[in-house]
Chains A and B, each alone.
Chain A
C-alpha cells in the first residue's frame, strides 16, 4: 500500500506541478528524458539450467546492472564486464545505461531494483546509506576479510559512506587540477606553474591580453564559478574551507576561509581585468560559445584563448579527441597563501557503486562490485579506456597510467591526503547548489553585505536539513 501511495504521489506531483514537462508540444520531463536513452549490453551467459557451471557448482545467475553510462562510454564499460564474465563464467550481466539516482531510488522503493547500480556521483550516498536504499557492505567485507583502508584512499571511502555505513564503493573518480599553456608561459617568462592564489593572480595578469577596444583577447585565468569547471575552486580543497561545523551546522558564515576566498576572487577580477572585469569576462565567455563550448573543440583552453584553467583529468581526453594543438601541462591547482600545506590536493569524486537493499542476486552483485572497485587489473583497464582516475592505491601506481605526464598529476591529486569531496548529507547536492547560486550573485555584485549574505546562506542550508 505504501509503495502504491509513493508511486501515486510521484505521479500526482508530476501531474500537478510539472505537467509542462508533458505539455502540448509533447516534451517529457527532464528525468524522463534522461531515461529515454537507455543502452543495453548483455554478457554471453551460460545456458540456464547448467548447474555445474561454476567450479563449486554455482548456479548460473544473471545480474541486472544499471548505470548512468551512455554512448561510447557505455560500450567501453561493457568490455570490462565481459572480462568479469570470463573470470566468473556462471554469472551473466544485463547492463542497462542511462539510469539516474532518481531511477534507482524509485526502483528500490517499488521493489523493481536491479542487482547493482553505478551512480554518476556521491551526491546521494548519504540518502542511500541512511535510508537503506543500498545494502551496508560490512557483512561482505567482514566475510571476505577486506580492510578497505589498505586498498582505497580515505577521501574516497568518505564519499562512499555515511555515518560509518559503507554502503557503496568508488569505481573511477574525477580529480581536479590546473591546466596551463606552456607556450604562453614561456612567452610571458613564467617558469613554473603557480602554487598559491597570489602566484595565480600574478601569472594571470602577465598572461592576459586585451583587444584594442578593451575586451579580453586571451584570459589568463577566469575565476567565475560558472566558467567551465571553475566551480571546483569554491568547493573547499584549495581554500581549506569547511562546509559544516562540529554540530553539523553550515559553516559558510562561521569559517572565515569562505569570505576570504570570495574577497580574493573579487580583488582578482578587478586587478586582472579592470573595474568592469566581471562584465568583460561574461562577454568573453559568451563569445567563446558559453557553457556549451566546454564540450566541444571551441573550449577556450583548447583554442588557446584561456591560458590557465581548472579542470578534471578528463580534459586530457577531450584535448586529444578534439585534435587541439595546445602545448600544455598539468599540475595541482594553487591554494590559498596561508595554507601552503594544502598544495597537491584537489576536489575529487566520481562513480559510486551500490547493491540495492532488495537486490535479487546480492551475492553475485558483490562479486561484480569487488571486481570493479577492488581488482587492480579491472581498475586500470577502466581508467585506461575511460580516461578517469582509478580509485585504489595499487591502480594509482600503475606504470602505464603514470607514464602519461598530463595524467600523472591527477593520480597524485587523488592520492593526496587533503583531497576531498564535499561532506555528504541527506539533502544531496542542495547545499552545493545554494552555495553556487550565492557565489553567482556575489560575482554579479548582488550581495551588498558579504558576511550577512553568508549567514543567510548558512541559515538556508540548515533549514533545508530540517526537511531531509
Chain B
C-alpha cells in the first residue's frame, strides 16, 4: 500500500466516516462518548436553530455576490495585464502581491482602512460619496468583506491570464479581417475559449465560498468581542457576518456540540455537492472545449 493511500484513508476517509457517525449522535467530545440520537441533530438544525438558517442565508449571499464578482474582476484584471508591452512582470507582480498577505492581516488592515475618519472614508468624502460605517453597519459589513476578498484575487487573475494568453491569435486575426468589433471578439472568441477556466473558477469559488471563515471571524471578533469569551456578539454587527462555518465552529469548538457540528458539516457537504452538480449540469450549455465543442 502506497503512503498516499495510507494518508488518504487515515486523514480523509476515516475522519469523514467518523464525523458522519457522530452526526447521528449527541457527543461533546468527552470521555462519556457519543450517544446515538438518530436524526435528532438534523431535525434540530431545520426546526430549532434559527442561526442555522441565518448563517446559511449570509453564506449564500456571500457566494452569490463574491464568486461572480471575482470572476468578472479576475478576467478584467487579467485582460488589462495582457496589454502592457513594457513592465509586464512588474504589473503582474503588483496585481498578485495582495494574495501573499495573510487573510488575518488583510482583515485587520481593512478594519483600520474602513473606520470612520479612516483613509477610505476621507476619499469617499472628498468625492461627496456616502460614507458608510462598514463593519459597524449590518448593511455594509458583507460588502466590506467582499472588498477584502476581491483585493486578494491575484491567484484567480493568474489563472485567467494564462487562459487569455492561450487563446490562439489567429482567431482574432480572422475576426479582424471579418470586421468584428471588440465586443464581438470578446463575446464570440475570448469568452468561449476561456469558458473552461471560468467553469473551473466558479466550481472552486463555490466550494471555498461556502467555507468562508477567516476574514469574517476576524472582523466579527473585533466588532463583537473575542469569540469564545462570555458576551461576544455572534457575527457582529447584528449577525450579518455570521457565516455557516463560523456557527459550525462555535457549535463544535466553543459549545462542544460535536455531534451537532458534525451534522452541520455534512449538511454543508450536501449543499456544496448539490451546487456543484447543478453547475456541472449547466456547463453543457456554456462551456466550450477546444476540439470538442460544447459538452
Q: A367 contacts the other chain (Cβ, under 8 Å)?
A: no
Contact B260 A467 (CB under 8 A): yes
Q: A187 contacts the other chain (Cβ, under 8 Å)?
A: no
- Which residue in A23, A33, A133, A433 is a CB contact (below 8 Å) of B231? A433
Contact A226 B225 (CB under 8 A): yes
Q: A214 contacts the other chain (Cβ, under 8 Å)?
A: no
Tell me which residues across on chain B come within 8 A of A436, comparing CB atoms: 224-225, 231-234
Contact B136 A286 (CB under 8 A): yes
Interchain pairs with CB closer than 8 A, number: 245
Contact A434 B245 (CB under 8 A): no
Q: A366 contacts the other chain (Cβ, under 8 Å)?
A: no
Q: A314 contacts the other chain (Cβ, under 8 Å)?
A: no
Known interface pairs A12-B16, A226-B236; A289-B211 also in contact (CB < 8 Å): no
- Would you give the shortest CB distance from A22 to chain B, in whole angstroms? 10
Size range of the interface on B? 35 or more
Q: B185 contacts the other chain (Cβ, under 8 Å)?
A: no
- Would you give the shortest CB distance from A380 to chain B, in whole angstroms? 26
Contact A13 B262 (CB under 8 A): yes
Can you name the residue of chain A whose Cβ is closest to the Cβ of B260?
A467
Interface centre among B99, B136, B249 (most CB of A within 10 A): B136
Q: B213 contacts the other chain (Cβ, under 8 Å)?
A: yes
Contact B99 A25 (CB under 8 A): yes
Contact A109 B233 (CB under 8 A): no
Q: B283 contacts the other chain (Cβ, under 8 Å)?
A: no
Size range of the interface on A? 35 or more
Tell me which residues across on chain A come within 8 A of B15, comparing CB atoms: 8-13, 15
Q: B11 contacts the other chain (Cβ, under 8 Å)?
A: yes
1/0 contact trace for A395-436 toward B, CB 8 Å?
A: 000000000000000000000000001100011111011111
Chain A contact residues, majority secondary structure: helix
Per the bound structure, the CA–CA distance linking A428 and B251 in Å amounts to: 10
- Would you give the shortest CB distance from A418 to chain B, in whole angstroms? 18
Tell me which residues across on chain A come within 8 A of B262, comparing CB atoms: 9, 12-13
Return the 6 tightest CB-CB contacts between A and B, nearest first: A12-B15, A286-B116, A12-B19, A131-B30, A17-B265, A432-B230
A contact set with B: CB distance below 8 Å: 2, 5-6, 8-13, 15-21, 23-27, 29-31, 33, 100-102, 105-106, 108-109, 120-121, 123-124, 127, 131-133, 225-226, 231-232, 234-235, 282-283, 285-287, 289-292, 349, 421-422, 426-430, 432-437, 439-441, 444, 446, 456, 460, 463-464, 466-468
5 residue pairs from A and B, CB less than 8 Å apart: A16-B265, A17-B261, A429-B229, A429-B254, A446-B138
